[in-house]
Amino acid sequence: MTTTRSAGVSEELEPHGRSAKKRRAILEAATEVFLQKGYLATNMDEIAALAAVSKQTVYKNFPNKEMLFVEIVSSVTNRASDRVHSKMPELAEGEDIADYLQRYAYRQLTTVLTPRVMQLRRLVIGEVGRFPELAKALFDGGPGRAIAAMAVLFERLADRGLLAIDDPAVAASQFNWLIMGEPLNRAMLLGDESIPKPAKLRRHAAAGVRVFLASYGK
């Protein structure tokens, strides 16, 4: 352990020490550059410069480029995953199931179709060969987690007699890709400018929910 000077609780999560601040600056800079240029095209000098820190300080905090990369990608992945899964919309009292599913779908769309998240996906996919663990982590924390959460939700709704679902996992996966497939693939290949505007996403979500409910509605 390094000199734990006086551990206020807030300092535990985000310490104010000089070193800690620099460390965070490095992480921030590295995130920026790695996400934008990819692993190989990124060089450590640029990270140091952007963090306004000497190269030496970078290497005092992280053993090498690879470790730094893994750390920032894991961190961004986890943050994004948590953001998607916090404040999941609840079914309001007496709310129409279609409206509810549309809200759910729309929320999913807007939290995933973000330049940051899309860059992360592209980056990780491009590095599947070099860093398969990162891809696995993104899979588990992204679509995997989302679909699993949706499955338990669907099961509850089915129990309440609001949906006619035999296999919640299958239904959740179908719902997910009915909603996310098209815009996700588009944004993946055509870049962040191709992300549809909110109004369009709303219509897209509505169309997907319509199909879903034709099969699983009551």
Is the alpha carbon torsion for 21, 24, 29, 32 positive or negative?
negative
Give the list of residues 6+ apart from residue 192 with CB closer than 8 angstroms, or none.
Answer: 115, 118, 119
Q: Considering only the stretches 62-70, 82-90, 105-113, 178-186, report the one whose residues sit in contact with DNA under the rule CB under 7 A.
A: 62-70
Is the alpha carbon torsion for 122, 125, 130, 134 positive or negative?
positive
* Interacting residues with a copy of itself between 94 and 113 (CB under 8 A): none
C-beta of 66 vs 167, nearer to DNA: 66
45 binds, among a copy of itself, DNA, none (CB under 5 to 8 A by kind): DNA
Under a CB-based contact definition with an 8 Å cutoff, are residues 148 and 172 in contact?
yes
Q: Does 60 bind DNA (CB under 7 A)?
A: yes
Q: What type of residue is 78?
A: N
Q: Where do we find the tokens 């640029």?
A: 46
Q: What type of residue is 179?
A: I
Q: Does 92 bind a copy of itself (CB under 8 A)?
A: no
178 binds, among DNA, a copy of itself, none (CB under 5 to 8 A by kind): a copy of itself
In our burial notation (b when 16+ CB lie closer than 10 A, e otherwise), range 161-177 reads ebbebeebeebbbbbbe
Tokens of 36: 């934008």
Q: Does 54 bind DNA (CB under 7 A)?
A: yes
Q: What is the DSSP letter of 17?
A: S
Q: Considering only the stretches 5-13, 22-30, 32-40, 56-64, report the one whose residues sit in contact with a copy of itself under the rule CB under 8 A.
A: 32-40
Q: Which residues sit at the interface with a copy of itself, rule CB under 8 A?
A: 36-38, 40-41, 122-130, 132, 135-136, 138-139, 143, 170, 173-174, 176-178, 180-182, 185-186, 188-191, 207-208, 210-212, 214-216
Q: Which residues sit at the interface with DNA, rule CB under 7 A?
A: 2-3, 5, 18-19, 22-23, 41-45, 52-57, 59-61, 64-66
